[in-house]
Amino acid sequence: MKRIAVLVSGGGTNLQALIDAKGRGEIPNGVFAAVISSSPDAYALTRAANAGIPTFVVNRRDYSSNREMTVALTALLREQGIDLVVLAGFMYILTDELVQAYPNAIINVHPALIPSFCGAGCYGLHVHEKALAYGVKVSGATVHFVSEDCDGGPIILQKAVEILPGDTPEVLQRRIMEQAEWKLLPRAVSLFCDGKLQVDGRIVSILD
């Protein structure tokens, strides 16, 4: 059984999708061992507590830099015996210390088709504002392994979602969550826990 930690900063709808998938028996080889929030007020913490998952807060305000926060976070993950780290709406860029401790064992969900609308400063609603301002007709979601390069790690799964006339960033965000993020993230986590993701450089193969 892989021990999974989910890192969150806000509402936690992707965390909820993971909890629900586990409840339906779709992640048989993984257990949610910790939910760690960058803020004590994140609603995601309530979702975790309701599901009986141990919660922790690593508050960005208690550290002078992202690096210091990452070192504390990495120590906590090690203490909890974590095998897989899932970034589910985690809003800080984590530094190399975490990537080196968990090579090809950190999974992020991004609300666009990488390499479009990604990188530093492109998170949450900003991603959808940029996609709409650019005028693209499809966007979507990407689940990928985290590397030292922000949003640049090997891609595991992607799904395209149509942009419709009159879309606002909020409407588009919701459609991408419903049609793509909430499906892709549990699937990727399940594949990881089953040992079915093989990484060769940038290329991720899904084993039968």
Count of positions on this chain that bind ligand GAR (CB under 6 A) = 17
Residue 103 to residue 159: CA distance in whole angstroms: 24
Q: Which of 5, 6, 7, 13 binds ligand GAR (CB under 6 A)?
A: 13
If one asks whether residue 140 binds ligand GAR (CB under 6 A), the answer comes out as no
127 is a contact residue toward ligand GAR (CB under 6 A): yes
- Positive/negative CA dihedral, 111, 115, 120, 121: negative
Task: Determine whether 110 is an active site residue.
Answer: yes
Q: By CB under 6 A, is residue 128 in contact with ligand GAR? A: no
Residue span binding ligand GAR (CB under 6 A) among the ranges 4-12, 62-70, 73-81, 199-207 = 4-12
Distance CA 190, CA 207 (A): 12
The whole-angstrom separation of Cα 134 and Cα 102 is 35
Q: How far is CA 91 from the centre of its chain?
A: 10
3-state helix, strand, coil in the chain (%, to 5): 35, 25, 40
Residue 30 contacts ligand GAR per CB under 6 A: no
Pick the stretch among 53-61, 119-127, 155-163, 198-206 that binds ligand GAR (CB under 6 A).
119-127
Active site residues: 110
Residues that bind ligand GAR (CB under 6 A): 8, 10-14, 44, 88-89, 109-111, 123-124, 127, 177, 181
